[in-house]
Amino acid sequence: MYPPFYGYLRQAGIIVTEARLNANLRLDFEAIEAQFAAAPGGVGLLLCNPHNPGGTVHTREELETLARLAAKYDAQVVSDEIHAPLIYAESTYTPYLSVDPRGIAVHAASKGWSLAAIPAALMTWGPDAGEALARYDSGKHHGPTYWGTVAQTVAYNECRDWLADTIVALDRNRHLLGDLLAQRVPGARYHLPAATYLTWVDCRELGLGDDPAAVFLKRGRVAFNSGPTFGAGGEGHVRINIATSPAILEEAVSRMVASL
């Protein structure tokens, strides 16, 4: 999962446990139910939909199963859907609130339109999430910036063509990276993302230890995100951002090769 989630939750005094994805980077409902059942009191689940770093797009059937489990254990699901604009053609994005009226979803234009430096976000509440909304309203929160609100509104309303062109370019890059790794770093197992501009690469067969990103940085002077920062199961992995030019991706893989 996205590393800052851990810090934000712990800072708020919340006990964090993990329900790891399965080997195919999909939701493991046995693991989720086990955590729900073991929770000492109120329980919630923070979902990435689509998933970061795996690039998984959860199916409607998967989300319906999650919603049933949440209802069974009176669990509050908060779905981070910041990567929802970046879905490739073979997949279908399902908004979590379309399957769970008790849910909460969080959106922003910052990933789809590269507006992270001009922050703004949207929280949306299911029709049956009134109690959670009341608790939220009773607290103190920062509002979005003025320019962030303007930029996000323009992105959603006027920049859909730009987004479509960007997805075409990212689609080429996700396949290019897979081809380059298969040809030049065959020990790296690449998970082709169904969404986002972030890719998850299993480097355990390369013998670079738990944090291969540190090795690639030291030996090859190429910076990737460190797998262990994403929680249990991240050991031996790196996250690679493909929102760049094909030439830079080729250079990055060349530096990986030089590190081995």
3-class DSSP state of 226:
strand
Q: For the chain, where do the domains classified as CATH 3.40.640.10 start and end?
A: 4-158
At 147, list the tokens: 């320019």
Q: What is the pLDDT of residues 97-125, one digit of tens each?
A: 999 999 999 999 999 999 999 989 999 99
Average pLDDT score, the chain: 95
Question: Nearest to residue 195, comparing CAs of 154, 161, 242, 231?
Answer: 242
Taking the C-alpha atoms of residue 237 and residue 225, their distance in angstroms, rounded to an integer, is 9
At 231, list the tokens: 């929680």
Predicted pLDDT at 183: 97
Taking the C-alpha atoms of residue 238 and residue 236, their distance in angstroms, rounded to an integer, is 7
Q: Which fold has domain 4-158?
A: Aspartate Aminotransferase; domain 2 (3.40.640)
Q: What is the pLDDT of residues 177-212, one digit of tens each?
A: 999 999 999 999 999 999 999 999 999 999 999 999
Q: For the chain, where do the domains classified as CATH 3.90.1150.10 start and end?
A: 162-259
Superfamily name and number for 162-259: Aspartate Aminotransferase, domain 1 (3.90.1150.10)
- Mean pLDDT value across residues 154-179: 97
